[in-house]
A and B are shown apart, each in its own frame.
Chain A
């Protein structure tokens, strides 16, 4: 029986993540927690998150979770969701520039709010919200059984820009091509919300629960 810690640092809707994990892995022990011991003893760790990166980093620091997350990301199957992967990179443009965890090299950039479709001239809305296709750029156990270019649910105004090409696991197009998923050893992190992405999202979570990096 695998145990999964969903890190609770007060950012956004963690119930959705834990409910989806419980749904795909009824035998697993899913714990929404901010307790360092719980997190470090879990077999798998999920770093979700919604909201602003400044609050995210502030809460991780206030709860003394920076070192815990760093350790977990170095040692266990680790899944980042939405704000999670943004926190893993070095810096974010949000809130006037924020230093993030720096576990993976790269930056988080703003889409901007003056984007227009070059052909129709219609505004391209930010947040990027809704179901977009993800092109899997590498073979990865977490993509197993998920057709190429499947749609996942996104909602974000900032995007991942990893410093190394070989960190990219998936891409999507919105105004331009951006990184939708990153992978590095035991870390897999997605900009979209697998817990809200119906069948394909649940499949990704199922793959995570049985993943042995």
Chain B
């Protein structure tokens, strides 16, 4: 008896529509975030993450409506990320029914924002998203730096030190994405995941690179992640969440089934 490891499907939303679409059997509208959320809930998703990639801030209200609709039909934790820059942004998402928000760029721009946000809303609802990339030099130990702009711009900040700083500022959870692995289907950066997970006291969600179910198992057993986040392997119907959970359980991982 104990705490289950979590599987979190992530949906990218642009102007209220799921980007790239979701391809389930008998799925009527591939771009409908509410239907997608409902299906993932039925499959046993432990949480849902919506990443708002809407470029224009004028269209941010659309995301609020999406969250409102999802939250009135799906009763599992919802995290919203993308464009969260002010306490007003956070309040708006929480009022719409989100349980957590993830903060990335705004934390790098002004780390105190994380301290203020956790003081105001509680650390349980502030997830700090970290995009890290290996900057290993020949002959040196591996280290990782924080990158922005989809992995194109280095900040020079050490990923482990940054994760520890964010936890000290009150972050309740770390969403860790390997920019080396994101989109590759080669699996999580397990070394990175393990290093961050060991360095902080709060749960770590591993993200970036999942291509098969073995990768999810490795993220937990070798990366010491507390949760795994994936998008494409679930969106295109390759595997259901339930299949993934059964597979992970068969490898000795405690899951909610």
Contact = CB atoms under 8 A, between A and B. Distances in A.
B197 to A, nearest CB: 7
A19 B2 contact: no
Interface string B245-257: 0000000000010
Given A123-B197, A135-B1, A130 B124 contact: no
A132 to B, nearest CB: 5
Contacts of A173: 1-2
B75 A155 contact: no
Interface residues of B, number: 38
Contacts of B198: 123
Interface string A118-157: 0000110111111111010000000000000101011111
B201 interface: yes
Contacts of A202: 75
Contact of B201 (A15, A23, A125, A195): A125
Interface in A161-205: 172-174, 193, 195-198, 201-202
Nearest to B93: A13
A51 interface: yes
A190 B101 CA distance: 24
Contact of A174 (B3, B197, B202): B3
Contacts of A15: 71, 94-97
Contact of A20 (B41, B75, B125, B203): B75
B193 interface: no
Nearest to B123: A127
A51 B121 contact: yes
Contacts of A23: 72-73, 75
Nearest to A82: B124
Nearest to A120: B224
Contacts of B173: 127, 129
A201 B75 contact: yes
B46 A130 contact: yes
A126 B1 contact: no
Contacts of B94: 12-13, 15
B1 A133 contact: yes
B164 to A, nearest CB: 12
Of the candidates A15, A22, A132, A173, the one having the most CB atoms from chain B within 10 angstroms of its own CB is: A15
B1 A19 contact: no
A92 to B, nearest CB: 14
Contacts of A22: 72
A51 B121 CA distance: 6
B4 interface: yes
A74 interface: no
Interface of B: 1-6, 41, 46, 71-73, 75-77, 94-99, 119, 121-125, 172-173, 197-198, 201-204, 224, 226-227, 256
Of all A-B residue pairs in the complex, the 3 with the closest CB atoms, nearest first, are A51-B122, A113-B201, A131-B256
